[in-house]
Structure 1
């Protein structure tokens, strides 16, 4: 495969990270997860989740994202809890999130080596950014640029948590990839698919009933998309 020419630099590519939608306090995020029945109580009780959020609120920066570890809440279970208000034929409708049909192995996309994901049931992700300045970059191009800025790419589970708490993290032509998660093959190489979260157009196998829905899917490692940035964080806290 021929590697595409590097994405053109622009003033936006060297500015500070884009301001994400404001997240509520960690305690309020815990109540969202509890109230919507996102976390099975046999995996993590409401009391334990509330206690973890309270502990994290003492140390994590203001505006952090609350994340339940994917061993308790995998992306396949989390995606269906996403909600987004969409307009279809001029009428407002609520759409549920989904995983694309050709990503049945979504839960096998694990954090890449070196990513500092805490080995705890609940943790916080600070200063989440959608990475709009890297739109139209490939994952291969974005990975070293994120590291050079002292940031860490979001995992897929973290990205889904973000959209669940803040649906406005997705906007038409402003969605994001989560290249902190990749699928390693048995021979040690990576699958070329890289996960992303965006908005369905309701075409193809998605089906018209999913037009406007939050969508968990994938793009190729060396491909660029004008409507996909690269979500990242300044760090994770446990």
Structure 2
């Protein structure tokens, strides 16, 4: 079995964020951005024992950058699919002007830091393809897990583009705006698209992403 080094993976994720331009979104140099995220390295390595190497559907951890440092409307265009498909991510036209700021963490979702944190044991939730989103979220809650927010979905695709695959896209039930809409990320015109679907409508190609928990800096 391939050895998985959590510290090396943390460093790769920081480099990826910088190379994709997330540091520029925050108005920071590459070094300053790396310094900002550095305290989270201990959060990851402290829980490294037992971590398994990532697969397309499940990864041990992901660095999450919140909208305070990376507004969603500017972060989505930094997304691309895996392989040679490099078209920038797009936001679905069905989001009305001002809609994105209305989607905030659901009442049961607590974020450890307003800027950046770590999401652990992330699963794109393909088992829920074809399930009603409300039912999928209830199952996830029953397992003691948490649905992903918009920012967390962006983080997953940023670090693991292959997690977003044909017929294996995912909803982000951790962000809600008070109505029946559930955000989701899927593939449209060979690019990642941030859209939404109704909480009571199933889609065969859309699962429900979840994670074990979230953690901020240990300091």
TM-score when scaled to structure 2? 0.82
Q: Deviations over 1:185-223 (max 9, x none)?
A: xxxxx22211000101xxxxxxxxxx1111110100100
How far 1:85 sits from its partner (Å)? Answer: 4.9
Stretch moving more, 159-168 or 53-62: 53-62
Q: Paired residue for 2:181, among 193, 207, 210?
A: 193
Change (3 A) 1:58 1:218: same
Structure 1 gap ranges (5+):
1-22, 87-91, 184-189, 201-210
Report if aligned partners of 1:27, 1:50 keep a CA contact under 8 Å in 2. no
Change (3 A) 1:112 1:44: farther
Instruction: Indicate the residue corresponding to 1:58 in structure 2.
Output: 42
RMSD, aligned CA: 2.1
How far 1:43 sits from its partner (Å)? Answer: 4.6
Change (3 A) 1:93 1:136: closer
Instruction: Indicate the residue corresponding to 1:84 in structure 2.
Output: 81
Report if aligned partners of 2:61, 2:120 keep a CA contact under 8 Å in 1. yes
Q: Paired residue for 2:166, among 156, 167, 172?
A: 172
Secondary structure of the residue aligned to 2:137 is helix
Instruction: Indicate the residue corresponding to 2:206 in structure 1.
Output: 228
Report if aligned partners of 1:136, 1:225 keep a CA contact under 8 Å in 2. yes
TM-score when scaled to structure 1? 0.76
Distance (Å, rounded) in 2 between the aligned partners of 1:107 and 1:79: 14
Report if aligned partners of 1:194, 1:220 keep a CA contact under 8 Å in 2. yes
